[in-house]
């Protein structure tokens, strides 16, 4: 038997936006921390130092 | 000496026979007596009662075949010495129509249709009836053999025989016993349905649990992916604006992107599946599901078999309860339809 209901097919994660921001922002910060440590590592072992590299004007 | 006289006699007979077509009326009485004498003395060479000749022209085959779905008879017209195509309609034309058409085409023509045994076929016979076997078409006393082709469209009419009687008996039996049979079959199917459902219940529960855990795991994979993307974004942003400049970072970002595309192609090479998010997630789901099933000793094969059988039984029941099958009036209310057996 056919009924003319309007089915809602789009799946929505409950508290979607909140969860998304809760994941994104901290991990962005984690990314910056990683890169800071990485830069410190490079500078310590003298692999790549930005001031030295900018000397070709 | 006598031998040569006989030869002359035979040759003369044949010559006069062939001349008859040209001198149609007046020489006949003389020839008839002469021929009868010849008949008496010599063995007739394939004579037929219906004809005046003692010998026949060798019967050549006329072509009767299907061209573009229509039946075509190719007839050599005597007075014009050319072949003419006649398109026949087997179900609508009869022999009389064919003869009329032939005569209309060539006015000096007399035609008759004979069966293979030499008996004349009535004018009211449908062409369709002729097509079963070979027949003879006689045009101006020249006999042609016609071989009809293999029947392309056969009518469903067939001789009444034992098969028909069997069929009618079968119909009667069906009409008398069908409702009972329906009820019996329905009961059987309902029993089977109950059995299957009973067996399936514990399996369904376990499957639901496994699905839930697998879903949780695959969802976790997705969120982890999200986190990794933000880590990469954060790190590169920090390096570009706070530490080095874009001129330093650009090649780095390019090679990271290129590495990602290598990874996606490797995904295809390893899994033979396109890297699209829904499919990849389903793949992970299945992976976790089967891992969990192995751990909990859940027989997926058996579960699948049972589900298939259940689907079949439900389909059979639905077909059985189809209003036209049960010869009931159509129900618009589904509740009423289910309550009726």
* Region B254-272 average pLDDT: 95
Range from B100-104, B211-215, B252-256 carrying the lowest mean pLDDT: B100-104
ipTM: 0.79
Token look-up 């995904």 returns B267
Closest CA to B70 of B158, B153, B156: B153
Closest CA to B88 of B62, B108, B51, B106: B62
CB B233 within 8 A of CB A28: yes
Q: Is A24 on the interface with B (CB under 8 A)?
A: yes
Give, in degrees to the nearest 5, the angle at Cα B227 between B222 and B233: 130
pLDDT of residue B35: 47
Instruction: Report residue B212's pLDDT band, with 50, 70 and 90 as the boundaries.
Output: very high
Most confident of B26-35, B56-65, B211-220: B211-220
B221 to chain A, closest Cα gap in Å: 13
CA separation, residue A38 to residues A25, A33, B4, B334 (Å): 20, 9, 131, 69
Question: By CA distance, what is A16's nearest residue in B?
Answer: B223
* Region B299-310 average pLDDT: 91
**Rounded distance between C-alpha atoms, residue A29 and residue A25, angstroms:** 6
Q: Which of A27, A38, A53 sits opposite B234 (nearest CB)?
A: A27
Instruction: Report residue B328's pLDDT band, with 50, 70 and 90 as the boundaries.
Output: low
Range from B68-72, B215-219, B305-309 carrying the lowest mean pLDDT: B68-72
B169-183 pLDDT, tens digit per residue, is 888 998 888 888 888
User: Whole-model pTM?
Assistant: 0.50
Q: Is A31 on the interface with B (CB under 8 A)?
A: yes
Q: Is B231 on the interface with A (CB under 8 A)?
A: yes
Q: Which residues of A touch B228 (CB under 8 A)?
A: 27
Enter the tokens of residue B248: 């330093």
Mean pLDDT, chain B, rounded, equals: 79
């Amino acid at each position: 038997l056919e009924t003319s209901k309007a089915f809602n097919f789009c799946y929505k994660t409950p508290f979607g936006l909140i969860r998304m921001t809760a994941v994104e922002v901290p991990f962005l910060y984690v990314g910056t921390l990683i890169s800071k440590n990485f830069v410190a590592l490079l500078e310590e072992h003298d692999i790549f130092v930005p001031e030295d590299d900018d000397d070709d004007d | 000496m006598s031998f040569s006289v006989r030869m002359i006699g035979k040759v003369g007979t044949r010559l006069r026979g062939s001349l008859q077509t040209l001198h149609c009326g007046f020489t006949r009485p003389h020839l008839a007596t002469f021929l009868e004498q010849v008949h008496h003395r010599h063995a007739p060479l394939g004579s037929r009662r219906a004809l005046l000749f003692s010998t026949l022209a060798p019967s050549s085959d006329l072509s009767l075949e299907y061209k573009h779905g229509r039946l075509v008879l190719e007839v050599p017209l005597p007075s014009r010495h050319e072949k003419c195509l006649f398109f026949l309609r087997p179900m609508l034309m009869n022999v009389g129509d064919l003869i009329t058409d032939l005569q209309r085409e060539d006015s000096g023509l007399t035609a008759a249709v004979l069966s293979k045994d030499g008996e004349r076929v009535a004018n009211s016979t449908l062409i369709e009836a002729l097509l079963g076997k070979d027949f003879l078409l006689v045009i101006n006393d020249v006999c042609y053999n016609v071989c009809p082709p293999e029947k392309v469209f056969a009518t469903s009419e067939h001789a009444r025989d034992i098969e028909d009687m069997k069929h009618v008996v079968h119909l009667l039996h069906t009409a008398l016993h069908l409702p009972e049979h329906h009820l019996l079959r329905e009961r059987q199917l309902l029993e089977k349905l109950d059995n299957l459902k009973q067996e399936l219940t514990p399996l369904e529960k376990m499957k639901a649990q496994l699905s839930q855990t697998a879903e949780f795991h695959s969802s976790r994979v997705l969120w982890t992916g999200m986190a990794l993307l933000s880590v990469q974004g954060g790190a590169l942003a920090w390096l570009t604006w706070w530490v080095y400049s874009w001129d330093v970072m650009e090649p780095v970002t390019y090679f990271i992107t290129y590495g990602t595309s290598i990874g996606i192609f490797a995904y295809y090479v390893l899994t033979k599946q396109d890297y699209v998010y829904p499919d990849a997630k389903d793949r992970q789901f299945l992976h976790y599901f089967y891992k969990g099933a192995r751990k909990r000793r859940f027989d997926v094969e058996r579960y699948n078999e049972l589900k298939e059988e259940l689907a079949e039984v439900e389909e059979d029941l639905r077909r059985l309860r189809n209003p036209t099958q049960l010869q009931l009036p159509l129900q618009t209310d589904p509740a009423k339809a289910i309550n009726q057996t």
